[in-house]
Amino acid sequence: MSNEFDHIVVGGGISGLTKAYSLQKQGLKVLLLEKANRTGGVIHSKITECGVTELGPNSLALTPILGQLIEELGLNDQLIKANEVANKRYIYLKGKPVLINPKTLLFGSKVIGLGSKIKLLSERFKSAQDIPNESLADAIKRRFNNEILSNLVEPVITGIYAGSPEKLEYKSSMKRMFVMEQEHGSFTKGFLASRKSGSKREIVSFNKGLQQLTDALRDKLENVRYEAVESISLPNDRVMVKTNERNYEANGLTLAVPAYAAAELLQPMDGDIAQRINQVEYPSLLGWQVTFKTTSITKRIPSFGILFPSKSKKVIKGIINYSEIFGTNDDCRHFTVFAAANTENIEKVEQQVKEEFSSVYEVVDEPIESIFSFYEKAIPQFNVGHSELMKILDEWERQHPQIEILGNWRTGVAIGDCINQKNVCC
Ligand SMILES: Cc1cc2nc3c(=O)[nH]c(=O)nc-3n(C[C@H](O)[C@H](O)[C@H](O)COP(=O)(O)OP(=O)(O)OC[C@H]3O[C@@H](n4cnc5c(N)ncnc54)[C@H](O)[C@@H]3O)c2cc1C
């Protein structure tokens, strides 16, 4: 078996799989190396009696490139689209879930008070600013106010990053919002323009879960090996990769691994860049994948789910109503619940999660399936300084043209962002 390739991709998550697939399509001999015994990375679906249990992400927003990729992979007939009800989202405020409806936010809504409604209406008259190192919290306070930050932005941000708007960098973590402010002069004007142009993205998954996408990509690849990469080097402008099993050689290399894993591999080559990359923070997260018989749940809240702002004082950060979004089996109700936890308090948080969930949905019986998943390093934080780090990495890649550095911490955390990379697909 030859150990020489045109290109090696390290990491078999969605970022690495799409990269390897795209290079192979361009005619290159590509090897994908994955340290686990399966591809998909955090995307991990399981078929159960009641349908699908997602052990990682639950859904994705359909981008044009993703649509083409799905067609190319022959997955169109497996694609499932979110039910209409998924357009509804709730925020847990003053002890109960309150509906957020963009159409009634200004008039009927109880999520924000009159002062905030005036701020929403007047934001369009404020001029755009690009403040270096501005946090998301500061940007929201600059354009709106504290209440909009705590009741609307913070819970939504927690749903994406499981992080804090005080630490996240405005222009990196909410790129779309930042661009709207720069291009349209205000976020409100940009938001209205995007609605007019019909650029709203559909929420989708697959009959057998999101892993169908990563499995289909893996099946297209000619060379996938389940080996952990231990070191990389660049002798004579070639790439040498050493795994726990053997050595490989190639002309080019893509690292599509989490930041802390990339830092470890780059350390012997460039300690300074490794140290900078290693500063990307990954908070831990507890997930509860739980299925009840429909009769065990007294209260039904048809919607995408419920977000919990920190002022709710709950350990739960978000509940995703998987059955309401994609469900086909009326006998079961499947949910994914996320909570903040760390290695020391997992058991206590698990108990609190069960109690809080029970009180929101008025649960009367035990679940038929209950899986707790602890993600020690869950989602990379695009904290203040992230855009600067990305510029430094762009320059580093120019100086080391054999190596490309990818992964959700480079491109954006949504699955669509990981696919929307240069050269990927179609
Ligand atoms: C709990 C959770 C829920 C989420 N929910 C959503 C959602 O609903 N919708 C959405 O759009 N996004 C969601 N996301 C975000 C999204 O799923 C991720 O950003 C994306 O899947 C990451 O893909 P990746 O390929 O960049 O990284 P990963 O999936 O982390 O893949 C990296 C791979 O590299 C491998 N690797 C690491 N080191 C080595 C090594 N030395 N040698 C070989 N292989 C190595 C790892 O084993 C792993 O398979 C969620 C994320 C999490 C954690």
Residue 417, classed as helix, strand or coil, is helix
- Flag whether 130 is in a domain: yes
- Domain check: are 147 and 211 in the same one? no
Q: How would you label 309-336 residue by residue, b for 16+ Cβ within 10 Å and e otherwise?
A: beebebbbbbbbbbbbbbbeeeebbbbb
- Flag whether 104 is in a domain: no
Domain end among 176, 201, 226: 201
| Nearest protein Cα to ligand 1, atom 3 | 57
- Flag whether 353 is in a domain: yes
Q: Is 209 in the pocket of ligand 1 (CB under 6 A)?
A: no
Q: Is 16 in the pocket of ligand 1 (CB under 6 A)?
A: yes
Residue 59 alpha carbon, nearest atom of ligand 1: 8
- Domain check: are 184 and 246 in the same one? no
Distance of CA 284 to the CA centre of its chain: 14
Residue 157, classed as helix, strand or coil, is helix
Q: Is 12 in the pocket of ligand 1 (CB under 6 A)?
A: yes
Is the separation of the CB atoms in 31 and 250 below 8 Å? yes
- Domain check: are 290 and 413 in the same one? no
pLDDT of residue 102: 72
CATH number at residue 148: 1.10.3110.10
- Domain check: are 414 and 294 in the same one? no
- Domain check: are 403 and 320 in the same one? no
Residue 57 alpha carbon, nearest atom of ligand 1: 5
Residue 412 alpha carbon, nearest atom of ligand 1: 19
Q: Tell me the best of 42, 405, 421 to mutate to test the pocket of ligand 1, counting ligand atoms within 8 Å of each CB and taking the most.
A: 42
Residue 42 alpha carbon, nearest atom of ligand 1: 29
- Flag whether 339 is in a domain: yes
Ligand 1 center–CA 409 separation, angstroms: 10
- Distance, in Å, from the CA atom of 336 to the CA atom of 307, rounded to the nearest integer, reads 12
User: Whole-model pTM?
Assistant: 0.95
CATH number at residue 239: 3.50.50.60
| pLDDT tens digit at each of 426 positions of the chain | 579 999 999 999 999 999 999 999 999 999 999 999 999 999 999 998 888 999 999 999 998 899 999 999 999 999 999 999 999 999 999 999 999 877 777 777 788 999 999 999 999 999 999 999 999 999 999 999 999 999 999 999 998 999 999 999 999 999 989 999 999 999 888 888 887 776 678 999 999 999 999 999 999 999 999 999 999 999 998 999 999 999 999 999 999 999 999 999 999 999 999 999 999 999 999 999 999 999 999 999 999 999 999 999 999 999 999 999 998 788 999 999 999 999 999 999 999 999 999 999 999 999 999 999 999 999 999 999 999 999 999 999 999 999 999 999 999 999 999 997 665 666
How buried is 341 (Cβ within 10 angstroms: 0-12 exposed, 13-18 middle, 19+ buried)? buried
Q: Tell me the best of 257, 319, 421 to mutate to test the pocket of ligand 1, counting ligand atoms within 8 Å of each CB and taking the most.
A: 257
Q: Is 378 in the pocket of ligand 1 (CB under 6 A)?
A: yes
Residue 418 alpha carbon, nearest atom of ligand 1: 26
Element holding 192 (H helix, E strand): helix 187-196
- Flag whether 343 is in a domain: yes
- Flag whether 426 is in a domain: no
pLDDT of residue 199: 65
pLDDT of residue 306: 97
- Distance, in Å, from the CA atom of 246 to the CA atom of 75, rounded to the nearest integer, reads 35
Domain end among 201, 232, 248: 201
pLDDT of residue 401: 96
95: number of CA atoms within 13 Å, CB side? 0
| Nearest protein Cα to ligand 1, atom 7 | 57
pLDDT of residue 101: 77
Ligand 1 center–CA 158 separation, angstroms: 17
pLDDT of residue 100: 87
- Domain check: are 409 and 265 in the same one? yes
Q: Is 305 in the pocket of ligand 1 (CB under 6 A)?
A: no
Residue 416 alpha carbon, nearest atom of ligand 1: 11
pLDDT of residue 116: 92
- Flag whether 32 is in a domain: yes
Ligand 1 center–CA 340 separation, angstroms: 18
Is the separation of the CB atoms in 224 and 80 below 8 Å? no
| Parent domain of 342 | 284-375
CATH number at residue 332: 3.90.660.20
DSSP state at residue 78: G
Residue 287 alpha carbon, nearest atom of ligand 1: 1
| Nearest protein Cα to ligand 1, atom 36 | 11
- Domain check: are 190 and 123 in the same one? yes
- Domain check: are 268 and 406 in the same one? yes
Ligand 1 center–CA 290 separation, angstroms: 21
Residue 61 alpha carbon, nearest atom of ligand 1: 11
Q: Where are the beta strands (DSSP E) in 276-383?
A: 285-293, 305-307, 316-320, 332-339, 369-375
Ligand 1 center–CA 407 separation, angstroms: 8
| Nearest protein Cα to ligand 1, atom 12 | 414
Domain end among 180, 201, 222: 201
Give me the number of domains the chain comprises: 3
Which one, of 363, 361, 349, lies nearest residue 287 by Cα?
349
- Domain check: are 411 and 267 in the same one? yes
- Domain check: are 274 and 213 in the same one? yes
- Domain check: are 183 and 131 in the same one? yes
- Distance, in Å, from the CA atom of 288 to the CA atom of 384, rounded to the nearest integer, reads 30
Q: Is 407 in the pocket of ligand 1 (CB under 6 A)?
A: yes
Residue 201: CB atoms within 10 A of its CB come to 14
Q: Is 283 in the pocket of ligand 1 (CB under 6 A)?
A: no
Q: Is 41 in the pocket of ligand 1 (CB under 6 A)?
A: yes
- Domain check: are 312 and 267 in the same one? no
- Flag whether 93 is in a domain: no
Q: Is 20 in the pocket of ligand 1 (CB under 6 A)?
A: no
